[in-house]
Amino acid sequence: MIILTTSAAAQSISVIPRIYLSTFDLLIRDDSTNVQETYNITNAVISGNYLNFSNIFNPILTENHFYDLILTSESLGVIFKDRIFCTDQDIDQLNNDYFNLNENEYLSYNGHDNTYKVR
C-alpha cells in the first residue's frame, strides 16, 4: 500500500512494475466516490529495482480515503496495480510510528492516581 498526503505539492511514488517504462498513464480511483482521474507521467526514473516518479494530484486527495492506483501503457496494457491511502499523519514504519485511527480524538485523564487507604 502506498501512503500519500493531501498536499498540493508533488508527491513521490516508488513501485516495482511488471515492465519498466519512463512514460505511462497513472489512473487513480477514489473508492468512496468512484471518481477516477488520469495523469500522464513522463518523468519516471529507474533506480535499482524501483520505478520512481512524482505527480501533483489535482484535485487534491481526500484525507482518510482509499484509492486504486493503476499504471498503464497504451501498447502494453496494465503494468502495475496497488492501493493508496491518504493521510496527513506522520507515518514512519521503520520507527514503529504507524497510522493511529483515533489520533487527537480521545484525551487521557491523569487527575487521580487510583490509590486508597487500608485500615
**What would the pLDDT profile of 61-99 be if each residue is shown by its tens digit?**
998 899 999 999 999 999 999 999 998 777 665 565 556
Residue found under cell 501512503: 3
CB 38 within 8 A of CB 27: yes
Query: What is the reported pLDDT for 88?
Result: 79
Q: Give yes or no for a contact between 68 and 16, defined as CB atoms under 8 angstroms apart.
A: no
Residue from 66, 100, 99 nearest 82 by CA: 66
- State how far the Cα of 72 lies from the Cα of 93, in Å rounded to an integer: 29
Q: Which residues pair with 85 in a beta bridge?
A: 3, 66
Q: Is residue 95 helix, strand or coil?
A: helix
Q: Give the lowest-confidence range in 12-21, 52-61, 87-96.
A: 87-96
User: CATH for 2-95?
Assistant: 2.60.40
| Cis preceding linkage at 17, omega within 30 | no
CA distance 20 to 23: 9
> pTM of the entire structure?
0.74
Give the pLDDT confidence score for residue 1 in this predicted structure: 86
Q: What are phi and psi of 102, to 5 degrees?
A: -105, 30
Task: Provide the pLDDT for residue 11.
Answer: 93
Domain regions of the chain by residue span: 2-95
Burial class (CB in 10 A: 0-12, 13-18, 19+), 84: buried
